[in-house]
Amino acid sequence: MANLLKLGHDIAKRNPSFKPAGNFLSQEYAKLVFFYRMNAGLTQKQLAEAADVSPSTIHRIEGGSGGITDIKYAAVFNVLNITTADIANFFLERETSKERDLVEQL
């Protein structure tokens, strides 16, 4: 699971366009976790119990708050079956979407 988090950090470092103001990874992981939780049909409380974290941790993750430990992210990603490939695809799709928007503006 640590590889998932490292991948996100590495992608953000190599692609400056991925760095909006604020805590970038927390904001992006928020979208990812919310999407996967909704698809799994879980409440925040159910996800928290399954990941052995507090419901407020899930609320903070989905709110894009900083200060969430890699261990807690890993536990949540594990329950939601979010893989390294899922994270990579999420970032790649985001970048492709940005490129499409730029082309459309021309």
Does 3.40.50.880 match the CATH number of domain 2-105? no
Three-class DSSP category at 83: coil
CB 72 within 8 A of CB 1: no
Q: Provide the whole-model pTM.
A: 0.71
Measure the CA–CA gap between 1 and 23, rounded to whole angstroms.
Answer: 20
User: Would you list the domain boundaries of the chain?
Assistant: 2-105
Mean pLDDT computed over 44-67:
96
Q: State pLDDT tens for residues 58-103.
A: 999 999 988 899 999 999 999 999 998 998 888 888 766 655 555 5
Average per-residue pLDDT for the chain: 83
